[in-house]
């Protein structure tokens, strides 16, 4: 049996899929259910997955699929007819089997993916709050985190490649030598190693083909520090 909020979220996702062809964003779901945080949506989705109503495709944004509807509403549009009343309904073949809630070390947390950040020539990081990426909880410590997709090769000697997804803890200070997200002149964002000396700030690449850039202290603002990295192999 579903709770009222679980039922409400499942119906909203089902309607959104039928009307648009893709699942709603976490922000849209939060607003539709009048919840205060996206963590509540994450818990509801996990519960619906465990009960066999939803499937979430890993490492893809907006990839929720309704595979089962509550019995009192019948199957979803396009699904096979229900079995006779005397017999239990057949389990959908593409439903993830029920599993207990994973231990914290195996759990994942959805983080907002804020677009592409330059690891070469700086570009403006564009926020897209409709996209999320699942990150192992063990990778995250305290504080607020977000994800960025890397564009460029200026940090390859630090093991950061073009197309990687970096996990950033939001912060406005960083120690010398830390790899940071730096806002330059209020309109350029780049991923570099930070060094402060006297009255200047150096943003250092990890690729000998690129030069270190030097700025006055009022031109560079730290927006976060690198804490992890995700990579997909094709």
Q: Are 40 and 133 found together in one domain?
A: no
**Beta strand spans in 39-99 (E):** 54-56, 64-66
Q: Residue 129: which pLDDT band, with cuts at 50, 70 and 90?
A: low
CATH number for the domain spanning 29: value is 1.10.10.10
Place of tokens 């519960």: 47
> Does the residue 38 lie in any domain?
yes
pLDDT in tens, 29-43: 888 898 887 777 878
Cβ-contact 170, 156 below 8 angstroms: no
One of 105, 192, 208, 209 is an active-site residue; which one? 192
- To the query of whether residue 84 is one of the catalytic residues in this protein, the response is no
Q: Which of 129, 128, 109, 120 is nearest to 45 (CA)?
A: 109
Q: How many CB atoms lie within 10 A of CB 194?
A: 21
- To the query of whether residue 154 is one of the catalytic residues in this protein, the response is yes
Q: Which of 7, 21, 4, 22 is nearest to 73 (CA)?
A: 7
> Does the residue 101 lie in any domain?
no
Q: How confident is the model over 132-147, as a mean pLDDT?
A: 86
Phi–psi pair at 117, nearest 5 degrees: -120, 140
Q: Are 138 and 84 found together in one domain?
A: no
Q: Are 158 and 220 found together in one domain?
A: yes
Q: Are 185 and 81 found together in one domain?
A: no
Q: Residue 76: which pLDDT band, with cuts at 50, 70 and 90?
A: very low
Domain carrying residue 86: 4-95
What is the pTM assigned to this prediction?
Answer: 0.54
One of 154, 200, 209, 225 is an active-site residue; which one? 154
């Amino acid at each position: 049996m579903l709770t009222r909020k679980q039922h409400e979220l499942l119906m909203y996702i089902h309607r959104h899929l039928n009307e648009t062809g893709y699942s709603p964003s976490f922000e849209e779901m939060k607003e539709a259910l009048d919840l205060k945080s996206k963590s509540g949506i994450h818990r509801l989705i996990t519960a619906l997955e465990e009960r066999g109503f939803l499937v979430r495709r890993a490492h893809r944004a907006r990839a929720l699929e309704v595979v089962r509807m509550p019995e009192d509403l019948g199957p979803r549009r396009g699904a096979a007819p229900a079995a006779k009343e005397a017999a239990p309904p057949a389990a959908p073949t593409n439903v993830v089997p029920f599993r207990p809630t994973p231990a914290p070390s195996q759990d994942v947390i959805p983080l907002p993916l804020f677009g592409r950040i330059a690891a070469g020539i700086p570009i403006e990081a564009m926020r897209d709050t409709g996209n999320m990426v699942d990150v192992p909880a063990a990778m995250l410590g305290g504080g607020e985190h977000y994800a960025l997709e890397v564009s460029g090769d200026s940090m390859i000697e630090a093991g950061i490649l073009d197309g990687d997804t970096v996990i950033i803890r939001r912060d406005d200070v960083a120690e010398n030598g830390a790899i940071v997200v730096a806002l330059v002149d209020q309109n350029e964002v780049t991923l570099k190693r930070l060094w402060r000396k006297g009255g200047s700030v150096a943003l250092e690449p990890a690729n000998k083909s690129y030069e270190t850039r030097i700025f006055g202290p009022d031109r560079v603002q730290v927006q976060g520090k690198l804490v992890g990295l995700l990579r997909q192999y094709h």
